[in-house]
Chain A
Amino acid sequence: MTTTLRLPTDFTDGQQRLILKYLVEGRQALNQAEWRLILDGFDLLHQALIVTQEKTLTFRQVYQEQVDCPFADLYLAELLKLPDTTRGYPSLRARMARVITKRLRHDIPETNLPLAYCLYFWESFAAGYAFEVEIYRDLTAAGIDFEAHDIRNRHARRSPYDLKVLGLQGDIKTSLYFLYVRRGRGLPHDFYITRFYQGYRQRTLVVMLKPKAWDQIDGDTVKASLEKAARHFPLPATAKLEAGTIVIVDYEVWKQKVLRRQQRQHIGEQQ
């Protein structure tokens, strides 16, 4: 079977080399400019084409057929059985990544780039839902009332937002990629729970909120540049950006404030 790739004209050899660098050396080996180019590159590859004698598919369609349909539900069902998703998901994700690789090699042989594309988005998908489950379990343990979409349901997974807290719509994101591809189109949600690491791999969970969402939760903020926001933790920080202002809060502080607000609401309802 002859397979031909048709790559978007905007997708450069440089981006392809950087994707290889990412695969070989990991994201820690990438600088800011390189990471940005890779994100743009993967974004462009959604529309890349795989042409065979039988059919023509975009990379996005290949991912749907070869990865999402057969593996997404299976992975999430297994994920929810894990007592500790944070520690347990990487090996589960890797086990399925190996099966995905075999399947792609069988169905679309002789092509490397669709495999790289599919595995990148598989890794993102798996890490994203592992983080989402971690947050849901943590919010439940903290006694916070929230509504979350049912991740076991494919239709519900595509809901416009992941969870609702205090009537505010939020998303849980391991990576800013999903926000990056929306750049210039504004923020659709009231808040985002996300994470990064700093220093000696110290994991930092943050909540980014629109000011009106923060107003419902309460509290003063320190004005800060974006890069210095986390240095002010536990004080919430306000950063003014071209597209608007965001409030960045330590996740634990956000939880405490939400809990306090909900408790006050409960008391008010009882009176």
Chain B
Amino acid sequence: MNRLITEMSTDEFDTVIDAYIERETRDTGDLPAPLFYQTLRDIFGKVAELPGEETSIQSRFTIALERVAAGSRLILSSLPEASLPADLREIEVDLPGIRVLVGLKPLAA
């Protein structure tokens, strides 16, 4: 492919363009994955190495709980040394196959 577009005859280039338009009818235009990631890297700069890659779950806030069985109820309590953010409004519990969201209301004074 050593030709320059500007040096091609219009007839010759029109043949290229006809084939291009026809081929594009079968092409989704999606980038192949390697090109996609490389382009992303070009956009945002090189990827910094992350420790614990592929293994660690990055939780925004983790708190240790202890459980207390009280009759037919299970009570989960934070450990005495734990501190909770004052603006905590929701607790999320991720279990295999189930995700539990618990909304919190301030205690009545």
Q: Which residues of A contact B (CB under 8 A)?
A: 5, 13, 16-21, 23-28, 30, 32, 35-36, 39, 90-91, 93-94, 97-98, 101, 105, 109-110, 112-113, 115-116, 119, 123-124, 127, 174-177, 179-180, 182-183, 187, 195-199, 203-204, 215, 218, 220-228, 230, 232, 238-244, 246, 264
Contacts and interface: CB of A to CB of B under 8 A. Distances in A.
B60 A215 contact: yes
A223 B58 contact: yes
Interface string B1-30: 111111010100110110111111111111
Given A196-B30, A227-B37, A241-B45, 20 more contacts: A13-B4, A24-B1, A24-B20, A32-B39, A35-B31, A90-B25, A90-B26, A119-B20, A127-B28, A176-B31, A182-B43, A197-B31, A198-B32, A215-B60, A222-B56, A223-B53, A228-B53, A239-B47, A244-B44, A264-B101
Contacts of A198: 32-33
Given A26-B23, A222-B57, A225-B53, A180 B3 contact: no
Contacts, number: 185
**Which 4 pairs show the lowest CB-CB distances between chains A and B?**
A242-B45, A198-B33, A196-B36, A241-B44
Contacts of B92: 218
A187 B44 CA distance: 9
B71 interface: no
A175 B29 contact: yes
Contacts of B26: 90
B38 interface: yes
A203 B30 contact: yes
Given A91-B25, A223-B54, A196 B41 contact: no
Most buried by B among A32, A112, A182: A112
A222 B34 contact: no
A183 B46 CA distance: 12
6 contacts: A20-B1, A112-B8, A116-B5, A179-B43, A183-B42, A220-B94
B34 A32 contact: yes
A17 B29 CA distance: 20
A26 B3 contact: no
Contact of B48 (A5, A91, A240): A240
Nearest to B46: A242
B63 interface: no
B21 A119 contact: yes
A204 B4 CA distance: 35
Contacts of B14: 101, 105
B12 to A, nearest CB: 9
